Amino acid sequence: MKISGSEAIIKCLLEENVDLIYGYPGGAIMPFYDSLYHFQDKINHVLVRHEQGATHAAQGYSRSSGKVGVVIATSGPGATNLVTGIADAQIDSTPMVCITGQVSSNLLGSDAFQETDIIGITTPITKWNYQITKASEIASIFSKAFYIARSGRPGPVLIDITKDAQFEMTDFLYKKHKKLRSYNPKPEISDNSISDACTLINKAKKPFIIFGQGVILANAEEEFRVLMEKTGIPSAWTILGLSAVATDHPLNVGMVGMHGNYGPNVLTNECDLLIAIGMRFDDRVTGNLNHYAKQAKIIHLEIDPAEINKNVKVDVAVLGDLKNTLPKIIEKVEEKKHEKWLQKFRDLNHIEYDKVIKDDLFPKKEKITMGEVIHQINIATKGNAIIVTDVGQHQMVACRYAKFNESKSNITSGGLGTMGFALPAAIGAKMGAPKREVIAIIGDGGFQMTIQELGTIFQTGVPVKIVVLNNDFLGMVRQWQQLFFDKRYSSTEMVNPDFVAIANGYQIESERVSKRENLKESIQKMIDSPNPFFMEVVVGKEDNVFPMIPTGESVSNMRLS
């Protein structure tokens, strides 16, 4: 029995066990929505308020659940509104399948109403994309899309489907892909590389691990913990690697990068062996490459061959899925402790605590600090919540101070740095992990970029908790203007609306906190609420985030003030 192309799309989603999608209807995708009407009991469609919100919600869903996020949009502006979220997912390796409607195939190239070349636009920012013009292609293309999105180093794919292909009748047969010609998502593991890496690890006197999101994406958290504990090697996280290991683990020495911790940044340039695990040597991690770990041998464990020697020349490359490579290394490395070396990290942490952390978490100043808000959230959640952050000062503060006991707990926009990410991503994160507490930490600038998604919360009732840290500035840009542009605050001061009144307009319980004595009680009230909750916290206008590595400087030239 033949079915329409639009129904075939739905059957493909069901074959891939998709039961939740984020989207926004329109003319070119209307046949799909008409078919979806008959499958509402099997697929939950979340109507977002902007297509960018759909992509970020799908990212949050994917990051908290480990599944592929799915997004639906129409042609033209509907499709182009997905671009920022797709680019964000690509650089942060988030598996996502985006489905866009397109004008009928006979109109392609005619500049028809709401026609854009979304394939051409998204080719540089997707792992793979394809335009379907015949209903008979749907099953095989969708199978390929889901396989590519989730395998190897994951990422977003886009399928563009013409309107006539959605109407056209076709036979339906779905076969899941297990391999594709010329696509090798998991490189073959070299035993020689494993041996070479283990030799360096066993000889090292001052070894240092930097771990990234690759540990989480490979579901290799347990293997990584075993390696860390067997070798006794101090280990630091990248922003996206945060939560792969409990933040309070004694060998977890903090965060590397521009606003990371003092010890792991400075000692990067003192270690004799640097082991990079599932990270890509981003410029915010390395600082000036001409002065990055030049004294050290470098081992890079990575699934994507394109990342090897891209930014940092390595001595040993261990290609492969961390789930498979880490056990092979664990087997061959010697059990050790590096107490004297580890103590160096602790000593520098004491310096950072006295000069920075103490005043962030336990301030004597009148205004509430961002750090003490995160500290009070830690106390209330006991480190068991998912924290979703936007981009800016609050993001750096949250990543520095949030406590995590469980993996997949830190969700943020890393490589692209997308303001507006957190609110829709928190919606998706809560839907991906409904039993966990999900708290969005957002600045007043980023909040207003996707503020309309309060409507999605209102309609769905998804019980996310939202904390806006309001300093009436685009804080991170203002900090740079203060430090490097002689306080010329050009276009960074915000004149903000009444956020609480807006949240109330969406019937979301809300509260404004401007006094320290009310902070702890209000956070506990938010956590205890079974419903969505919005809290605005007024923080110091010109507070800065330190430590900081100025652009172009070495990681060892970290400023504490």
Give residue 157's identity as a one-letter amino acid code: V
Amino acid residing at 197: A
381 alpha carbon, distance to own chain's centre:
21
Q: To which H or E segment does residue 64 belong? A: helix 51-65
d(CA 393, CA 379): 21
Tell me if 558 sits within 8 A of 266, measured CB to CB.
yes
Catalytic member of 7, 51, 307, 372: 51
Angle at 500 between CA 497 and CA 506, to 5 degrees: 105
Omega within 30 of 0 (cis) for the link into 547? yes
Which residue is catalytic, options 476, 526, 548, 558?
Answer: 476
For residues 529 and 339, is the Cβ–Cβ distance under 8 A?
Answer: no
Fill in the amino acid letter for 335: E
For 269: left if phi > 0, alpha if psi spans -120 to 50, otherwise beta; the answer is alpha
Classify residue 498 as exposed, middle or buried by CB count within 10 Å of its CB (0-12, 13-18, 19+).
exposed
Residue 257 to residue 558: CA distance in whole angstroms: 10
Using CA atoms, how far apart are residues 1 and 49, in angstroms rounded to an integer?
A: 37
The residue from 113, 362, 484, 485 that is catalytic is 113
Element (H, E) at 298: strand 297-302
Annotation marks residue 114 as catalytic? yes
Whole-angstrom Cα distance, residue 479 to residue 81? 30
Whether 51 is a known active-site residue: answer yes
Output the CA–CA distances (angstroms, integers) from residue 262 to 242, 347, 480, in the order listed: 16, 10, 19
Q: Exactly one of 114, 452, 482, 524 is catalytic; name it.
A: 114
Is 481 an active-site residue? no
The Cα 515–Cα 496 span in angstroms is: 19
> Catalytic residue at 113?
yes
Q: Do 69 and 62 meet the contact criterion of CB atoms below 8 Å apart?
A: yes
Q: Which of these is catalytic: 127, 144, 163, 403?
A: 163
Smallest CA-to-CA distance from 59 within 86, 79, 81, 83 is with: 86
In the three-class reduction of DSSP (H, G, I as helix; E, B as strand; rest coil), residue 486 is classed as coil
Residue 154, preceding bond cis, omega within 30 degrees?
no
Q: What is the dihedral of CA 550, 551, 552, 558, to 10 degrees?
A: 20
Known catalytic residue at 419: no
Contact 257, 281 (CB under 8 A): no
- How many whole angstroms from its chain centre is CA 415? 8
| Residues labelled as active-site residues | 51, 113-114, 163, 476
